[in-house]
């Protein structure tokens, strides 16, 4: 066999690298995601109970038959809107957690959705439902700020 023929070398920076995550790590992430999911569901239910299922009079604690003062109504409306915004944010995180749990099932957990490289374990430990590695997350945030 001639030794002078070499296979073309691939540029490792252009190839997505694969990392097989250990089964115990995946199970730990799955357990943590499920715990966070349950906590968020309770929080969302609490926000809904406080904001949507109570009348203005019940929310304010006023049992009298008198009309409300405009400042009290504004404060109550602000509190209600704040609670609904919080529930909306929690719902977005809940959706991300559900996506992460699906990724654990299909074997793609821990892979950046943008560059297809493995997300560092330190990042996954901090935000186990993340979709992007640090550099792609920074690029995404810059892109959304410009929009």
CA-nearest of 146, 47, 137 to 94 is 47
The CA-based dihedral angle spanning residues 109, 110, 113, 116, taken in that order and rounded to the nearest 10 degrees: -110
The answer as to whether 2 is a domain residue is no
- Residues 144, 91 share a domain: no
- Residues 80, 35 share a domain: yes
Residue 136 has pLDDT above 90, yes or no: yes
- Residues 42, 101 share a domain: yes
Convert the pLDDT of each residue in 104-130 to its tens digit: 999 999 999 999 999 999 999 999 999
Q: Which domain holds residue 118?
A: 110-147
The answer as to whether 127 is a domain residue is yes
Reduced to 3 states, what is the DSSP secondary structure of residue 89? helix
**Tokens in use for 61?**
């604690």
Reduced to 3 states, what is the DSSP secondary structure of residue 118? strand
Convert the pLDDT of each residue in 11-66 to its tens digit: 444 434 445 678 899 999 999 999 999 999 998 888 777 666 665 555 555 555 55
The answer as to whether 131 is a domain residue is yes
Question: pTM for the full model?
Answer: 0.70
The answer as to whether 64 is a domain residue is no
Residues 6+ apart with CB under 8 A from 20: none
- Residues 93, 48 share a domain: yes
DSSP string, 98-140: HHHHHHHHHT-TTB-TTT-PBPPHHHHHH-TT--S-HHHHHHH
Query: What pLDDT sits at residue 78?
Result: 84
Residue that wins the pLDDT comparison between 78 and 73:
78
Query: What pLDDT sits at residue 56?
Result: 55
Residue that wins the pLDDT comparison between 84 and 16:
84
- Residues 74, 115 share a domain: no
**Tokens in use for 59?**
């929310």
- Residues 54, 86 share a domain: yes
Q: How far is CA 105 from CA 23, 38, 54, 58, 110, in A?
A: 12, 19, 39, 44, 12
- Residues 139, 93 share a domain: no
- Residues 76, 35 share a domain: yes
- Residues 146, 114 share a domain: yes
Residue 3 has pLDDT above 70, yes or no: no
Handedness of CA 108, 113, 115, 118 (dihedral sign): negative
Number of domains observed in the structure of the chain:
2
- Residues 120, 51 share a domain: no
- Residues 137, 95 share a domain: no
């Amino acid at each position: 066999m001639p030794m002078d023929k070499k296979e073309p070398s691939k540029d490792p920076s252009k190839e997505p690298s694969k990392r097989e995550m250990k089964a115990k790590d995946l199970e730990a992430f799955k357990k943590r995601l499920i715990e966070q999911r349950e906590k968020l569901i309770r929080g969302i239910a609490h926000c809904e109970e406080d904001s949507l299922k109570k009348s203005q009079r019940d929310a304010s604690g006023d049992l009298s038959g008198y009309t409300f003062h405009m400042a009290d109504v504004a404060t109550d409306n602000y509190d209600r809107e704040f609670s609904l915004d919080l529930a909306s944010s929690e719902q977005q995180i809940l959706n991300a957690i559900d996506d992460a749990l699906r990724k654990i099932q299909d074997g793609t957990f821990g892979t950046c959705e943008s560059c297809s490289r493995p997300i560092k374990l330190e990042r996954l430990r901090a935000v186990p439902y993340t979709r992007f590695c640090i550099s792609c997350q920074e690029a995404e945030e810059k892109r959304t700020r410009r929009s």
